[in-house]
Structure 1
Amino acid sequence: MILTITLNPSVDISYKLDELALDTVNRVSDVSKTAGGKGLNVTRVIQQLGEDVAASGFLGGSLGDFIRAEIAGKGIQDDFVSIAGETRNCIAVIHDGQQTEILESGPEISADEAGEFLKHFTDVVQKVDLVTISGSLPKGLEPDFYGQLVETANQHGTRVLLDTKGELLSHTIAGEEKPFLIKPNEEELADLWGETVTGETAIMSALESQRFSDIPWVVVTTGAAGAYVKHDAVIYKVSAPKVDAVNPVGSGDAVIAGFAAGLSRGLTDTELIKFGLAMGVLNAMEARTGSINPENISWCVDQIHVETMGG
């Protein structure tokens, strides 16, 4: 069983318009509503890969009920903790070849709710093979909250795959207890580094630094070009096939899902890297965020090239 954590989930609403008219009424018939948040994108892909998966985080109000109903309908185990606040909406208006987003900040988590979640997590983490943690923290939680989850998981021998960015990522990996895997993209690596990280030489230098020495897996995605992956002291360069991208949003989440499923299956390093990165490519080929077509997995894995760079 894989456990996914989405502490600030949302109902993602997509409105598709030929054009957006300001300061007047816009009527829309092409509407989609789905359970959203980076961790729930991960959840869907893991489920599509045929792995047993449970989803956890905070849910509240009628929008929380909507998400519970959607994941239950997909056969995903519901391990969310109920809160007094209302789960947020995130709205995307797709118009004129552009995408305008309106993102609610979400509910504020009380100290009692945070404590309840930590107790729940301590119980659940002992029953799963590994944990993925994705996205931002909701209001009310301290910056060390992810660090607390990592520490608890490590105490019980459960590996953590962490996908966040900025100060939250920096704060978490600075702690004594480290996640098993992190997945910054080039921009997020630069934020972590405090300076521009562009090109192979700069990425290799960053990966070889002491900052990442105690993190077993560091996956730096570089968009359509592929990725650079460090496992312990070995660094790999990964190239991906060129595809017609329909919707690249959520591809990073799909990569996390691929690595989680691959680790659960005990794949070798090269097999794991190919499988994990393939999920990002397959997500980009689908219209729906956090979705893959399992029929294309073998083809895509075969098209990914892994080269050892150092170690």
Structure 2
Amino acid sequence: MILTLTLNPAIDMSYQLDELKIDTVNRCDRVIKTAGGKGLNVTRVLKCVNADVCATGLLGGKTGEFIEQELDWSSIHHDFVHIKGNTRHCLAIMHEGNQTEILESGPSIDEEEAEAFFHEFDRLLDQASIVTASGSLPKGLSKSFYQKLIERATKKNKKFLLDTSGEALELGIKAHPYLIKPNQEELAAIMGTEINTEADVLAGVKKLASMGVTYVVVSLGKDGALGYVDGRAFVAKPPKIYAVNPVGSGDSMIAGLAYGLDRGLSPEEALKYGVTFGTLNATEEKTGYVQADQVEDFKERITLRVLE
């Protein structure tokens, strides 16, 4: 089973407007509401390909109930810890070719709720083979929270795939997760230097590997991703596509990597699935979605270039 973590989920609300008028009333009849959060995007993609997946995290209030109902409707297995605060909303306004976002920070998690999650995580770990953790941490949780989860997973010999940023990522790296997936901007922030060329990326991933990360993947947008593991470096590049909605493609890449690794495939083959899922997501209007019948054919069109 692949266990996906979403510690700061949201109800994602998308409003489609022809024009956004400031300081007056805007009426909208094109509204989409979904169970949101990076980890839930990972979950949905894995469900698309019938992977054995369970979603966990922290949910509270009526908004939390809505997310659980949405997951039930999609027949997605979930086991969340309930909190006193209300799960947040995130609003995206699509207008005149632009996307304006308003993101709530979300509820504050107290010590008792954090301990309850540790307890539930330990229980779910016994059933899991792979763990993915995606997105930001909610208020109240220490920036070392992912670090502590990685340590627990490592003790049970579970592969932990971490996709976050900032201090939570820097501290998480200290616990030696199996895989991290920074983009070029995040890699530059970690390294404290500019990342402009493939050689820069390669130098960065080698530095991260020396810090105890087994498998480093750097997403390169339309150019795919660079992977580094056990002294081997390689780039998986997809064919050209027409991108409809690239939102969630990074999460879809994590889903593909988890899918490949859970099947016991090599890091190179797992990266091909990662790039496949990430690219196919960008061709769909939905966020966190791939068409299962396209996966294997598209994967065969991924080119793998060995760097060293």
Same fold (TM over 0.5): yes
Taking the aligned partners of 1:306 and 1:125, their CA distance within structure 2 comes to: 33
Please name the residue that 2:154 is paired with.
Answer: 154
Taking the aligned partners of 2:263 and 2:284, their CA distance within structure 1 comes to: 25
Q: Please report how far the alpha carbon of residue 210 of structure 1 lies from its aligned counterpart in structure 2 after TM superposition.
A: 5.8
SS in 2 for 1:184: coil
2:193 maps to 1:220: no
Q: Please report how far the alpha carbon of residue 211 of structure 1 lies from its aligned counterpart in structure 2 after TM superposition.
A: 5.1
Native 8 Å contact 1:238 1:305 kept in 2? yes
Native 8 Å contact 1:212 1:218 kept in 2? no
SS in 1 for 2:300: helix
2:200 maps to 1:207: no
TM-score, structure 1 normalization? 0.97
Which residue, 292, 297, 300 being the options, matches 1:299? 297
Taking the aligned partners of 2:100 and 2:207, their CA distance within structure 1 comes to: 38
Structure 1: where are the runs of 5+ without partners? none
Q: Which residue identity does 2:17 align to in structure 1?
A: L
1:277-304 deviation per Cα after TM superposition (whole angstroms, max 9, x unaligned): 1000000000011111112112311221
Please name the residue that 2:12 is paired with.
Answer: 12
SS in 1 for 2:31: strand
SS in 2 for 1:44: helix
Q: Which residue identity does 1:239 align to in structure 2?
A: K
Please name the residue that 2:282 is paired with.
Answer: 284
Q: Which residue identity does 1:270 align to in structure 2?
A: E
Q: Which residue identity does 1:60 align to in structure 2?
A: G
The 5-angstrom pairing of residues 200-279 of structure 1 reads 200-209=198-207, 212=210, 214-279=212-277
Count of aligned residue pairs for this structure pair: 308
Please name the residue that 1:83 is paired with.
Answer: 83
Taking the aligned partners of 2:105 and 2:205, their CA distance within structure 1 comes to: 33
Q: Please report how far the alpha carbon of residue 132 of structure 1 lies from its aligned counterpart in structure 2 after TM superposition.
A: 0.3
Please name the residue that 1:22 is paired with.
Answer: 22
Q: Please report how far the alpha carbon of residue 213 of structure 1 lies from its aligned counterpart in structure 2 after TM superposition.
A: 5.1
Taking the aligned partners of 1:214 and 1:93, their CA distance within structure 2 comes to: 41
Native 8 Å contact 2:209 2:216 kept in 1? no
Taking the aligned partners of 1:65 and 1:308, their CA distance within structure 2 comes to: 47
1:131-150 deviation per Cα after TM superposition (whole angstroms, max 9, x unaligned): 10000000000111001100
Native 8 Å contact 2:258 2:270 kept in 1? no
Q: Which residue identity does 1:231 align to in structure 2?
A: V
TM-score, structure 2 normalization? 0.98
Native 8 Å contact 1:215 1:232 kept in 2? no
Taking the aligned partners of 1:283 and 1:196, their CA distance within structure 2 comes to: 29
SS in 2 for 1:228: strand
Q: Which residue identity does 1:83 align to in structure 2?
A: I
The 5-angstrom pairing of residues 131-142 of structure 1 reads 131-142=131-142
